[in-house]
């Protein structure tokens, strides 16, 4: 890719994702795309699964969805500030790294909370954590959202980072096995088609996106603990057909982010017919209902 084209992709990505230039540069794809959806297959599986757990705060009829909600992963939306999607890992930036890690990985204390199979593997400087998801074999990095000049050490060059990531993958292969309660819940989850996995993973990495002129924003779908009093939300479905029922946030902003020509999922289509709002991708559909 010509250097000028890459620079333009980085600038465009920064404007919509709120990432710094350095963050966006690491994520821009080699396929001449903005890179939000260009990732390892295991990363895509993790992102789709995390979307399901983050956006299911309850379900009036499905006992498995209720079990997902009871693991309280959705509390992670409170401290989450920014999602930065890279090819080999998912970076979550936050003003409270310890809080975010705790809500994602409460298995360390109880065995029945947090994302099933997600483990804290290491921390290489204060408030930066590496997490490994055993079932999907994918990596999450949690970092404080500090200005570059306030970080404890300079940002490493790309080759150094890749070498570190390879060493980390080797370390993470020794992570603890799934607890029985985690394995049982994962087996109860509804099956997901490949196109649906792409669509739900794309949803996750756009949770903190916004239009640079303020025409729309996703804003974590307006989540706050108090907002859940207005009714439970859930992301649930089967194979190709999924529904995000979310009574508290800007669903049209999410639909726009998923289908926007500058930052959307390539091939995703917005369907708006009267009161129905949906996003289609390949054979998969995601209905968005307030």
In whole angstroms, give the CA distance from residue 180 to residue 189.
15
Is residue 257 over pLDDT 50? yes
Q: How would residue 218 be classed by pLDDT, with cut points 50, 70 and 90?
A: very high
In whole angstroms, give the CA distance from residue 232 to residue 71.
14
The model's pTM: 0.87
- Residue of higher predicted confidence among 173 and 10: 10
Domain count across the chain: 1
Average pLDDT value for residue range 194-212 = 97
237 burial level (CB within 10 Å; 0-12, 13-18, 19+): buried
Residues in Cβ contact with 210 at an 8 Å cutoff, skipping those fewer than 6 apart: 16, 18, 216, 217, 218, 219, 253
In whole angstroms, give the CA distance from residue 29 to residue 35.
4
Residue 21 CA neighbour count, 13 Å, CB half? 5
Q: How would residue 156 be classed by pLDDT, with cut points 50, 70 and 90?
A: very low
What pLDDT is attached to residue 175?
52
Pick from 20-29, 237-246, 263-272, 277-286: least confident:
20-29
Q: 128 lies in which domain range?
A: 3-289
Q: Is the dihedral of CA 109, 115, 120, 123 positive or negative?
A: negative
Q: ∠133-77-235 over CA atoms, to 5°? A: 75
First to last CA, the chain: 42
Q: How would residue 148 be classed by pLDDT, with cut points 50, 70 and 90?
A: very low
What pLDDT is attached to residue 173?
52
Instruction: Write down the mean pLDDT value for the chain.
Output: 85
Q: What is the pLDDT of residues 170-202, one digit of tens each?
A: 554 555 668 888 999 999 999 999 999 999 999
Average pLDDT value for residue range 107-124 = 76
Where do the H-state alpha helices sit in 174-250? 180-188, 194-204
């Amino acid at each position: 890719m010509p250097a000028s084209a890459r620079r333009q992709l980085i600038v465009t990505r920064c404007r919509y994702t709120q990432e710094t230039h350095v963050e966006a540069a690491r994520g821009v794809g080699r396929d001449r795309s903005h890179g939000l959806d260009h990732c390892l297959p295991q990363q895509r599986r993790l992102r789709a699964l995390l979307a399901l757990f983050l956006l299911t705060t309850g379900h009036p009829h499905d006992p498995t969805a209720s079990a997902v909600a009871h693991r309280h992963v959705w509390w992670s939306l409170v401290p989450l500030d920014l999602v930065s999607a890279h090819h080999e890992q998912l970076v979550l930036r936050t003003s409270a790294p310890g809080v975010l890690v705790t809500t994602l990985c409460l298995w360390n204390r109880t065995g029945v909370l947090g994302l099933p199979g997600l483990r804290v593997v290491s921390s290489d400087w204060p408030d930066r954590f590496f997490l490994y998801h055993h079932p999907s074999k994918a990596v999450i990095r949690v970092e404080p959202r500090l200005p570059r000049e306030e970080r404890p050490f300079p940002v490493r060059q790309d080759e150094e980072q890749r070498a570190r990531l390879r060493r980390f993958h080797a370390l993470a292969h020794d992570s603890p096995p799934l607890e029985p309660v985690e394995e049982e819940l994962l087996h109860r989850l509804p099956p997901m088609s490949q196109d649906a996995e792409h669509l739900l993973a794309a949803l996750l990495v756009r949770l903190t996106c916004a239009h640079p002129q303020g025409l729309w924003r996703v804003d974590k779908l307006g989540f706050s603990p108090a907002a859940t009093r207005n009714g439970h939300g859930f992301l649930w479905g089967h194979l190709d057909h999924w529904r995000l029922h979310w009574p508290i946030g800007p669903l049209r902003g999410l639909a726009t982010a998923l289908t926007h020509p500058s930052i959307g999922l390539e091939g995703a289509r917005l369907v708006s017919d009267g009161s129905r709002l949906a996003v289609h991708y390949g054979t998969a559909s995601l209905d968005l209902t307030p």
